[in-house]
Copies of this chain bind each other. A is one copy, B any other.
Amino acid sequence: MKLMVYLAGEIHSDWREEIKNQAKELELPLLFKGPMENHERSDHIGEEILGSQPNAIFKDEAASSINNLRTQIWLNKADVVIALFGEQYKQWNTAMDASAAISLGKPLILIRPESLHHALKELSNKAQIVVETPKQALQALSYVFEEN
């Protein structure tokens, strides 16, 4: 029985590759989906599909409508959600996706550096587990599959 994992969170490091590689090494039956990681493309997809927009706000609205389409489709199909927060950026869409997962009854694994513990304390409290590295998240998923 395969599990579908949605990888929410920042797109400026290669943490998703790290997780996918370790899953492959451990031969875990996991299927991964996530947001567009090409930042340029993610910002421009609205105008690419919907055409030129009047200003930066409307350009953002166009792009986010398509990014949210992608997120909603995969989040609906996910069995578990991993959300990673990094030191930089506001990452409010990550918090939004993480909270949506919880509301949908899907367990959330939160990855964050210890330095963010205070700012993330309410979301940490709602997450099923909180870890500091992608490797720990995968250890937890590996444990889920462990045969007795």
Contacts and interface: CB of A to CB of B under 8 A. Distances in A.
Contacts of A48: 139
Instruction: State the number of copies, please.
Output: 8
Interface in A14-37: 16, 31, 33-34, 36-37
A133 to B, nearest CB: 10
In which size bucket is the chain A interface?
Answer: 35 or more
A114 interface: yes
A123 B61 CA distance: 10
Given A1-B77, A54-B58, A89-B119, 11 more contacts: A1-B4, A45-B143, A61-B121, A65-B128, A68-B107, A69-B107, A69-B144, A76-B105, A92-B123, A96-B98, A99-B103
